[in-house]
Amino acid sequence: MIKKLIRRILGGADPGASVRPKTFGPQEHGIDPDDVSPNAVRVTQALQTAGYKAFIVGGAVRDLVLGLKPKDFDVATDATPEEVKRLFRRAFIIGRRFQIVHVMFGQELIEVTTFRGSSSEEAPKDAHGRVLRDNTFGEQHEDAARRDFTINAMYYDPSQQVVLDYHGGMKDIRSRMLRIIGVPEARYREDPVRLLRVIRFAAKLEFKIAPATRAPMALMAPLINNVPAARVFDEMLKLLMSGHAMACLQRLRKEGLHHGLLPLLDVVLEQPLGEKFVTLSLANTDERVRQGKPVSPGFLFASLLWHQVLEKWEAYRAAGEYPIPALHLAADDVLDGQTEKLALQRRIATDMRDIWAMQPRFERRIGKSPYKLLEHPRMRAGYDFLLLRCASGEIDADIGQWWTDFIDADSNEREALINRKPEDTSAMPPKKRRRRGGRSRNKARTESAD
Ligand code: ATP
Ligand code: MG
């Protein structure tokens, strides 16, 4: 009843309404066939030759129309996963609930999905209306209606070079508008992760958010708390590694989505001390992504949470712990606090701990210590992290410079660097050190720094 009323008010934006797509030829969509992955074309052709429908779909079509380089290529088809698998030599069915097929070509993976049926009414939901299971196959127009944004619901047939557009995606691309398909409230309720996706695409593509898509966002934000942490984490990771992490975080704040939403974001956006550090780290990450360099989630999260670790590290030391055990205790506290809600994978948490634990070792610039550190498997990440700490003003820039010189040096120069008496071997901020003073404490740090 209420849903019907909302639909009427919104002008019949019923997700199931668009059964017949608009068709766009090469002149209109402007996709350059050279930008299309030859492997994705192989997959659609093989399926079509076997008598099935097959299209490139989703983000790849959006990016192709925009003239951007797609990150990866997804294919949608009316063949079942078993039927798809039979057509390719290296194809693997994955997923239990809703099966999809991974078709491998060397390093490239093409994800093939069977058209999904319309969801909603009968699908099992949680108490807040989030759809729990929803895995029926369906018609192409149903598959389109289940997708999140109009610009993500277009299908490209490389052999005919036509784009099928069920929800006005082409028009929205031209006016650079992000618009959710269907009734926004209902779509956020079904899957609150879409709130984060709005932010990511608006920031990444520099699109406006359609007023009706935007209006309920702040109000619906708490629904994200009911989503399994692992899914929120995946979407957060996509957001942070989109090459537009800073813009995304600013948007999250602007839309009122950061507060109390994710424990990590509260920390990141509301720690005045760490703001410079986080800003530098995200700018650095964005730059790497844009240059096509790899980014490690461990490094990223280690930097986002570093100032929380620093704070706790100091508290443990003030309570009389030796520096190294104090750092491990601080790391435990921070990781425990975050893993509970954020579902940090163990592998990522291990990387974070390694990077943090290496930091005091950079202070030891005597004897064999620097050589040992050079052999550490995560040396590069630890060193990059050290440079960020220098750049943010947390520690003396000299320490970073010393290590840069040491890494570049030959063996004689390395000896000279080690024998050069550093003016200050401590990596703690001078102000804080003065406050605590204590010769015995500095001695303890040096003794246990390895
Ligand atoms: P990117 O270039 O960042 O990968 P994308 O659009 O390909 O962007 P994916 O997360 O890879 O994003 O999802 C692929 C497609 O699946 C989307 O384009 C969209 O059509 C659909 N999709 C993904 N997540 C959702 C969701 N939560 N609700 C509805 N549709 C979704
Ligand atoms: Mg994608």
For the Cβ of 147 lying below 6 angstroms from any atom of ligand 1, the answer is yes
Active-site residue among 63, 134, 143, 148?
Answer: 148
Give the pLDDT score at 345: 83
Q: Catalogue all structural domains in the chain, each as residue range(s) with its CATH number.
A: 15-175 (3.30.460.10), 183-258 (1.10.110), 262-438 (1.10.3090.10)
Residue 269 in this model has a pLDDT that exceeds 70: no
**Arithmetic mean of pLDDT, 40-65:** 98
Residues in a beta bridge with 177: 208
For the Cβ of 152 lying below 6 angstroms from any atom of ligand 1, the answer is yes
Q: 116-120, 222-226, 295-299 — which is least confidently predicted?
A: 116-120
d(CA 311, CA 329): 12
For the Cβ of 187 lying below 6 angstroms from any atom of ligand 1, the answer is no
pLDDT in tens, 134-169: 668 899 999 999 999 999 999 999 999 999 999 999
Residue 291 in this model has a pLDDT that exceeds 70: yes
Nearest ligand to the CA of 63 is 1
What is the three-class DSSP state of 109?
Answer: strand
Q: Residue 391 has which token pair?
A: 């750049």
* Placement of tokens 């660097």 in the chain: 417
Q: Find, among 120, 159, 162, 164, the residue nearest to 19 by Cα.
A: 164
Q: What is the CA radius of gyration of the chain?
A: 26
- Check: CB of residue 268 under 8 Å from CB of residue 261: no
- Measured by CA distance, the residue closest to atom 18 of ligand 1 is 58
- Check: CB of residue 370 under 8 Å from CB of residue 418: yes
β 74-77/54-57 pair status: antiparallel
**Arithmetic mean of pLDDT, 65-82:** 96
Nearest ligand to the CA of 242 is 1
pLDDT in tens, 190-247: 999 999 999 999 999 999 999 999 999 999 988 988 888 888 888 888 999 999 998 9
d(CA 181, CA 159): 27
Burial (CB count <10 Å: 0-12, 13-18, 19+), residue 203: buried
- Check: CB of residue 185 under 8 Å from CB of residue 214: no
Q: Find, among 234, 155, 151, the residue nearest to 196 by Cα.
A: 234
Give the pLDDT score at 268: 67
For the Cβ of 36 lying below 6 angstroms from any atom of ligand 1, the answer is no
